[in-house]
Structure 1
Amino acid sequence: MIQIKDLHKSYKMGSNSLHVLKGINFNVEEGELVSIMGSSGSGKSTLLNILGMLDEADEGSYTLDGVPIKNLNERVAAKYRNKFLGFIFQSFNLINYKSALDNVALPLYYQKMPRKERMDRAFHYLEKVGLAEWSHHLPSELSGGQKQRVAIARALASDPKVLLADEPTGALDSKTSHEVMELIQGINDEGKTILIVTHEPDIAQMTKRIVNLKDGIIIDDHKVEQIRASQYV
């Protein structure tokens, strides 16, 4: 599903250059649940931005579902993001003045899906994450865990090939984190490919593979015995 070969990325820092990614090689098969770990400055956010087509590498190649991701203008990048990717953020990134239903339906609006169809689909995914009765509530009326469930429903609504989750439990307490991870594990059990950036070892253990980054290189990449979040819920 994802093939990364010899990926390099540097940023200009005044007259100097900061080499953030130093030759990343990394493949993800369809249906995997992978966590990417690393301390601040390890390069994990830069890698996620490149995977999400929010940034582009200086060298190397990135192929997503057989499509080379290179030299994209913003219009094409936006089209590919909408087609291939669903995003889950630590800060939820919900629109405060729109209901949960409208937030979930938003990516479908950009796909030019007819209103009734997109609302029906949005409601289906809110049902899937257990929030059907909260569909007309604003984000300010929801708990942190409920907001993240809305964000997950929104990410799923366009049926992406890959879910990219950036610290999806970072703003949540332990109990709510485990509930969100139980939901993510269930989505993965249905066959969805998911990558999670996290600094929390217990969250990483709930995935099936852990990739450790340090100073812009992968220092460890191994499969793990997955801990089911339902043990804690």
Structure 2
Amino acid sequence: MIQVKDLHKSYHMGSNSLHVLKGINFDVKEGEMVSIMGSSGSGKSTFLNILGILDEADSGSYILDGVPIKNLNEKIAAKYRNEFLGFVFQSFNLIGFKSALDNVAMPLYYKGMKRKERLELAAHYLEKVGLADWSHHLPNEMSGGQKQRVAVARALVTNPKVLLADEPTGALDSKTSYEVMELIQEINSEGKTVLIVTHENDIANMTKRIINLKDGVVIDDNLINQHILKQHV
């Protein structure tokens, strides 16, 4: 699903250059659930931005579902993001004046889907994350956990190949974090490929594989015995 080979990325600030990624090699098979860990400055956010087609590497190759991601103009990059990827962020990134239903339906607007179909599909995914009764509520009427569930529904509504989650539990308490991770495990068990950036060991242990980055390189990559949260029947 994801093949990354010898990825390098530097940022130039005046006469200085900061070499952030220093030759990343990384493969993810379809249906895997992988966490990416590393301290601040390790390069994990830069790496996630490249995987999310929000930034581009200076050299090396990135292939997503058989498609080389290279030299894309913004229109094509946006099309690939919408087609291949679903994003979940620490800060939820919901639109405050729109209902949960409209927030979830938003990516479908950019696909050119008619409003009635958009709302029907959005309602289906809100039900899937357990928030059917909250579809007409605004984000400020919801708890952090509920907002993150809306964000997960929005990420899934386009049926992406890969779910990318950047510190998805960072703004949540432990109990709510586990509820969100239980939902993400459920999504993975249905066959969706999931990548999670986290600095929390207990969250990483809920995935199936842990990649550790340090100073822009992969220092270890291990399959683990996943801590499976109780699945709701």
Alignment of 1:18-167 (within 5 A): 18-167=18-167
Partners in 1 of 2:14 and 2:210 — Cα distance? 35
Given the two structures, how large is their TM-score scaled by the length of structure 2?
0.98
Structure 2, unmatched stretches of 5+, are none
- Residue 196 of structure 1 is matched in structure 2 by 196
The match for 2:224 is 224
- Tell me how far apart the structure 2 counterparts of residues 135 and 228 of structure 1 sit (CA, whole Å): 29
Letter in 2 for 1:25: N
Is the contact between residue 20 and residue 42 of structure 1 (CA under 8 Å) also seen in structure 2?
Answer: yes
Aligned to 1:174: 174
Tell me, in whole angstroms, the C-alpha distance in 2 between the residues paired with 1:84 and 1:226.
Answer: 26
Q: Which amino acid aligns with 2:71?
A: N
Instruction: For structure 1, list consecutive stretches of 5 or more residues without a partner in the other structure.
Output: none
Percent identity over the alignment is: 80
Q: Would you say how many aligned residue pairs link Structure 1 and Structure 2?
A: 231
Give the Cα separation in 2 of the matches to 1:5 and 1:102.
39
Moved over 2 A (4+): none
CA drift of 1:23 comes to 0.3
Structure 2 partner of 1:205: 205
- Whether 2:184 is the aligned partner of 1:184: answer yes
Shift of residue 114, structure 1, vs aligned partner:
1.1
| Cα offsets for 1:185-231 (capped at 9, x unmatched) | 00000000000000000000000000000000000001000001239
Query: Residues 179 and 230 of structure 1 are in contact (CA less than 8 Å); yes or no, is this contact kept in structure 2?
Result: no
1:103 deviates by: 0.1
For residue 158 of structure 1, what is the amino acid of its counterpart?
A: T
Please, what is the CA RMSD of the aligned residues?
Answer: 0.7
